[in-house]
C-alpha cells in the first residue's frame, strides 16, 4: 500500500464518520423534535427518518469493513445485513411511488404532518433518494470481493449514488427545483441528503484499493495528473456556472453576457491551472529523468564490474519455480532470454558428474536445513558445451511458515582460477617428488659415509 492509498483509506473513514454523523444528527432531530436538525435551514425540506436510518446503517456497514473489527466472514455478514436493510427501505419506497401504495414504513417510528414542506407523502423519502440508496446499498455487497469485475461493479454503483446526490446539490445551488424535487409526485431530496450521498460515494470508493481506485491512487503519471486536475475540473465549472443564475449578475447583465462571462472565466481559469500543472509536472519529469540517468549509470557500472569479475546475479522464486538472471550470468551459462529458467533448467546446466551432488545439496542443505547457498561446481555452458567451473552464493528468504520461498545471490565463473589452482597443485606435486629424491640421496650418502668410516676403522685396527 503506497502513501496515497493510505491517505485515501484514512479519508474514507473520516467521510464515513461524516455520513454517520449526518444520520445520527437528523435522527436526534426527530427524537427531540428539533426542526433545525431535520432540515438545516428554515423553508427547506426535512430529511426523513428512513433516510437518516439508511445513512446510519450503511455507514456502520462501511466502518466494519474499514476497521476490520472481526474476521472477513463476520464483517461481510454485518455489512451485508446493514446494506440489506438500506436496500429494503429503498425498494419498498420505490414500490410505493410506482404503484401508489403505502405499506406503513414511512411513519413507523415518527409521525410527520401532512403540511410538511416539499413532501408528497408524510415521512416518505424522495424517489431519487431511494434510487441512490438502492445503488449505494448494492455497492456494499461487492465491496470486499476479490474479483476485479465485482470491484468495478461496486465502485460504479457508488459513483452513481454520488452522482444523484451531486445533481441534487447543484440543483440547490442554482435554484433548479426539478433537479432535487424530481418528478412532481415525489418528495424533494433534502439538502443534507445530497451532501450525505456525495460523502458516502467517496467513502465507499476510498475504502477499496482495486479497480477504479487502483488508477486514482496509483503513483504513475496518469494517476497523479488525475488527482491534481479532478478538484478544479469538478468544482470550478459548478462555481462559474452559478454566475449565470446569480441574482446580482442577473440585475447587471443580460443572459447572453452572463453566459459569455461564465464560459470565458471557465476556459481562462482552467487554462491557467493547466499551465501551472504543466510546470510542476515538467519539474517532476526532470527529476525523474535525473533519477533514471543515475540509475542507468549505476546499472552500467554494476554490469562492467560483473563483467570484469565474471560474476552474474540471480533472483530465484521457489514459490513459482522460476529465476531471473543478469546478462553476465546468461553469458556464464551460455543461455538466451528464451531459456527455461526453472529449477530443472538450472539442473540441466550442471555437469552430469556434479548434478546428483548439487541436487542433493540444494534439497537437503538449502531447502531442508535453510542453509545459505555456497558451493563450487561444474557446469556445461549451453551455447558451446564447454566445461566451466562456477562458485554459487545465495541468501535465502523464508515466509511466515518457515518455508524457503526466495534466494538472491551471485554466480562467478572461476574456471581460470581452477586451472591456476590445478597447475599450482601439479607444481607442488613435482616439487614434493624432487624433495623426496633429494632426501633419499642425502640418506644414501650418509649410509655410504658411515660404511666408509666403519671400513676405515677396521683397516686401522689390523
Q: Are strands 387-398 and 404-413 parallel, antiparallel or unpaired?
A: antiparallel
Q: CA angle 431-437-438, nearest 5°?
A: 90
pLDDT for the residue 212: 74
pLDDT at 436: 73
What is the rounded distance in angstroms from the CA atom of residue 284 to the CA atom of residue 281? 5
The distance in angstroms from the start CA to the end CA of the chain is 110
pTM flag (> 0.85):
no
Per-residue model confidence (pLDDT) at position 4: 67
Going by C-alpha positions, the residue among 221, 347, 225, 241 that lies closest to residue 289 is: 221
Rounded to whole angstroms, the Cα distance separating 125 from 112 reads 12
CA-closest candidate to residue 351, choices 384, 407, 389: 389
State residue 197's pLDDT score.
95
Q: What CA–CA distance (Å, rounded) separates 447 from 312? A: 60
pLDDT in tens, 170-207: 888 777 665 555 555 678 889 999 999 999 999 998 88
**What pLDDT shows up at residue 120?**
80
Check residue 440 and give its pLDDT. 66
Contact 47, 30 (CB under 8 A): no
Q: What is the pLDDT of residue 433?
A: 76
Q: Which regions of the chain are under pLDDT 70?
A: 1-2, 4-5, 176-185, 218-219, 236, 238-282, 298-303, 305-309, 439-440, 444, 458, 461-462
Buried/exposed code over 310-323 (b: 16+ C-beta within 10 A; e: otherwise): bbbbbebebeeeeb
**Given this model, what pLDDT does residue 135 score?**
96
CB environment 27-48: b (16+ within 10 A), e (fewer)? bebbeeeeeebbbbeeebbbbb
CA separation for the pair 303, 281 (Å, rounded): 32
Instruction: Kindly give, in sequence order, each residue whose CB lies less than 8 Å from that of residue 185, ignoring residues fewer than 6 positions away.
Output: 97, 120
Amino acid at each position: 500500500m503506497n502513501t496515497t492509498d493510505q491517505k485515501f483509506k484514512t479519508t474514507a473513514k473520516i467521510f464515513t464518520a461524516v455520513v454517520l454523523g449526518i444520520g445520527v444528527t437528523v435522527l436526534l432531530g426527530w427524537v427531540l423534535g428539533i426542526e433545525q436538525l431535520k432540515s438545516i435551514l428554515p423553508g427547506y425540506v426535512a430529511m426523513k427518518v428512513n433516510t437518516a436510518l439508511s445513512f446510519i446503517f450503511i455507514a456502520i456497514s462501511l466502518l466494519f469493513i474499514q476497521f476490520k473489527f472481526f474476521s472477513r466472514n463476520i464483517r461481510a455478514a454485518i455489512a451485508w445485513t446493514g446494506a440489506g436493510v438500506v436496500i429494503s427501505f429503498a425498494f419498498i419506497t420505490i414500490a410505493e411511488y410506482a404503484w401508489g401504495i403505502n405499506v406503513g414504513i414511512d411513519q413507523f417510528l415518527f409521525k410527520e404532518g401532512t403540511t410538511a414542506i416539499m413532501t408528497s407523502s408524510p415521512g416518505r423519502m424522495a424517489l431519487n433518494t431511494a434510487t441512490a440508496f438502492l445503488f449505494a446499498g448494492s455497492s456494499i455487497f461487492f465491496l470486499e470481493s476479490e474479483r476485479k469485475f465485482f470491484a468495478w461493479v461496486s465502485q460504479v454503483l457508488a459513483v452513481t449514488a454520488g452522482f444523484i446526490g451531486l445533481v441534487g446539490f447543484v440543483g440547490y445551488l442554482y435554484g433548479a427545483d426539478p433537479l432535487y424535487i424530481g418528478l412532481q409526485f415525489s418528495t424533494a431530496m433534502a439538502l443534507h441528503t445530497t451532501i450525505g450521498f456525495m460523502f458516502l460515494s467517496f467513502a465507499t470508493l476510498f475504502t477499496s484499493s482495486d479497480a477504479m481506485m487502483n488508477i486514482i491512487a496509483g503513483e504513475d503519471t496518469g494517476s497523479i495528473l488525475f488527482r491534481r486536475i479532478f478538484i478544479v475540473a469538478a468544482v470550478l465549472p459548478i462555481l462559474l456556472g452559478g454566475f449565470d443564475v446569480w441574482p446580482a449578475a442577473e440585475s447587471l447583465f443580460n443572459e447572453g453576457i452572463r453566459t459569455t462571462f461564465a464560459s470565458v472565466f471557465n476556459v481562462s481559469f482552467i487554462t491557467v491551472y493547466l499551465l501551472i500543472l504543466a510546470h510542476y509536472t515538467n519539474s517532476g519529469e526532470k527529476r525523474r529523468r535525473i533519477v533514471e540517468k543515475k540509475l542507468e549509470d549505476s546499472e552500467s557500472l554494476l554490469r562492467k564490474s560483473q563483467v570484469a569479475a565474471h560474476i552474474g546475479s540471480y533472483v530465484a522464486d521457489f514459490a513459482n519455480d522460476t529465476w531471473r538472471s543478469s546478462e553476465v550470468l546468461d553469458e556464464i551459462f551460455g543461455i538466451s532470454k528464451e531459456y527455461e529458467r526453472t529449477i530443472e533448467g538450472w539442473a540441466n546446466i550442471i555437469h552430469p558428474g556434479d548434478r546428483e551432488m548439487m541436487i542433493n545439496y540444494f534439497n537437503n542443505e538449502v531447502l531442508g536445513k535453510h542453509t545459505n547457498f555456497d558451493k563450487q561446481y561444474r557446469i556445461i555452458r549451453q551455447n558451446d558445451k564447454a566445461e566451466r567451473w562456477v562458485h554459487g552464493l545465495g541468501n535465502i528468504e523464508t515466509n511466515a511458515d518457515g518455508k524457503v520461498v526466495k534466494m538472491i545471490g551471485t554466480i562467478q565463473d572461476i574456471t581460470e582460477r581452477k586451472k591456476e589452482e590445478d597447475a599450482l597443485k601439479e607444481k607442488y606435486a613435482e616439487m614434493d617428488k624432487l624433495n623426496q629424491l633429494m632426501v633419499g640421496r642425502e640418506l644414501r650418502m650418509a649410509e655410504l659415509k658411515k660404511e666408509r668410516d666403519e671400513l676405515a676403522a677396521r683397516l686401522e685396527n689390523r
